[in-house]
Amino acid sequence: MAATPRVSAVIFDLDGTLLDTERATRDVLNEFLAAYGKVPDKEKEERRLGQMYRESTTGIIADYGLPLTVEEYAEAIYPLYLKRWQKAKPLPGVERLVKHLHRNGVPLALASNSVRRNIDHKLLRLEDWKDCFSVILGGDQVPHGKPSPDIFLEAAKRLGVNPSSCLVIEDSLVGVQGARASGAKVVAVPSLQSQRQRYSIADAILCSLLDFHPELWGLPPFEDRIQGALPIEPLFLNAQIGHAISKSLHMVIAGNSTYEYVPDQISGIFFGWAKLEAGGVSRTVISIGWDLSLRTVERVMHIYFLDSCRKITTEEPLKLLLVGYIRKLQTTENISQALTITAEDQTIARDALNLPVFSEYAKLENGFSPGMPS
């Protein structure tokens, strides 16, 4: 950015931006439609991302020929969603950012296309920091939902600021469109990696909020990095060793549990601990990205072993515990180049993993945390 745009308030979307509700509820529609002998259409469901609830529901009923009214559909599927919402977790970097802005007196609002009743249920997962938001708005509290600017204009009004002084953080295209129409600045954190190119109208596009730098928007900067490393909520992966790229660098083949434990927004250079099947534990640096050159967008991971391990074999089971973040990938054009783990990355990880905030995870001889998938 040539000049620092100054904002005085921040407005967040909820689903797919603050909470990983979309991933937590992906199987709900499958389960519901199966009772009618139907299977979800992936392209149609991706286009529904961010829509108002009534618009989305009406579309689902029409697309799959369901013998239900909107009200009957809502009543039948609501308990399935309610159960899954309780399992949704904050997305990477979210709690850090929200608490940081609140501590520094930045007015915060939450503006979601969800109806207010649903928002309140989802916020039960955020009870320790939901009070950071002085304004909470649902799509049923304004005349028109996103991509209309109504909800952002109302949020700015209730915050007591001009919309042009607001920064909106959104994951959906309709949300980005509505925010731009309101006159606000917009940071997009797309939920679907395959659609990143569609977000060009945003002022900035990030993979996750771990890459958000408040000072670029005239907001107080973070001061929580430790020797170049950022502590993160631990992420667990089951995986296998892929082919060797060099002596200490290998491809990683993600296991099925990666889908459950590692959000799609995770991208960049991370570090932590690896446990090989035969019992060897090593400090590691892991680069994670998405190969957008393929027809099917795929997650790609490289792992660098910082400690001397016995001979590592292809397809050997591997458990990973990621505890820190270093930086974003430098390019998205060439995935092999983007995933390069530099000597500086290795040094930062080595030094960080000797510090108490990270070394507490070193006691892994008897297996990882009980939360680790088996």
**d(Cα 14, Cα 98) in Å, to the nearest integer?**
12
Say how many residues make up the chain: 374
Among 85, 130, 86, 78, smallest CA distance to 108 is for 130
Which residue in the block uniquely carries the two structure tokens 């002084």?
165
pLDDT, one tens digit per residue, over 285-295 is: 999 998 877 77
Give every CB contact of residue 1 below 8 A, 6+ residues apart in sequence: 204, 216
Give the relative orientation of helices 70-85 and 53-63 as an angle to the nearest 10 degrees: 110
* Main-chain phi, psi angles of 131, to 5 degrees: -70, -5
**d(Cα 272, Cα 286) in Å, to the nearest integer?**
8
Same fold, 21-86 and 230-364: no
> Looking at the predicted structure, is the pLDDT value of residue 1 above 70?
no
Query: What's the pLDDT score for residue 367?
Result: 42
Per the CB < 8 A criterion, the answer to whether 81 and 53 are in contact is no
Higher-confidence residue of 331 and 219: namely: 219
Query: What's the pLDDT score for residue 56?
Result: 87
pLDDT, one tens digit per residue, over 113-172 is: 999 999 998 888 777 788 899 999 999 999 999 999 999 999 999 999 999 999 999 999
Q: Establish whether 15 is a catalytic residue.
A: yes
Using the Cα atoms of residue 368, residue 371, residue 373 and residue 374 in order, give the sign of their dihedral: positive
Establish whether the linkage from the previous residue to 214 is cis, with ω within 30° of 0.
Answer: no
**201's tokens:** 């109208």
> Looking at the predicted structure, is the pLDDT value of residue 267 above 70?
yes
Among 243, 363, 256, smallest CA distance to 303 is for 243
Per the CB < 8 A criterion, the answer to whether 105 and 6 are in contact is no
**Mean pLDDT score, 320-325:** 94
CB atoms within 10 A of CB 52: 19
**d(Cα 161, Cα 134) in Å, to the nearest integer?**
13
CATH number of 9-19+89-217: 3.40.50.1000
**d(Cα 249, Cα 242) in Å, to the nearest integer?**
10
The residue type at 308: S
> Looking at the predicted structure, is the pLDDT value of residue 260 above 80?
no
Query: What's the pLDDT score for residue 195?
Result: 81
β partners of residue 167: 10, 185
Give every CB contact of residue 343 below 8 A, 6+ residues apart in sequence: none
Higher-confidence residue of 105 and 291: namely: 105
Query: What's the pLDDT score for residue 127?
Result: 75
Per the CB < 8 A criterion, the answer to whether 292 and 193 are in contact is yes
Report whether CATH 3.40.50.150 matches the domain 230-364: no
Is the pTM of the predicted complex or chain greater than 0.95? no
Per the CB < 8 A criterion, the answer to whether 236 and 360 are in contact is no
Per the CB < 8 A criterion, the answer to whether 109 and 101 are in contact is no
Domain ranges, ordered by start, for the chain: 9-19+89-217, 21-86, 230-364
CATH number of 21-86: 1.10.150
Give every CB contact of residue 330 below 8 A, 6+ residues apart in sequence: 337, 338, 340
Among 125, 56, 46, smallest CA distance to 84 is for 125
> Looking at the predicted structure, is the pLDDT value of residue 304 above 70?
yes
**d(Cα 257, Cα 150) in Å, to the nearest integer?**
39
CB atoms within 10 A of CB 317: 13
Q: Establish whether 20 is a catalytic residue.
A: no
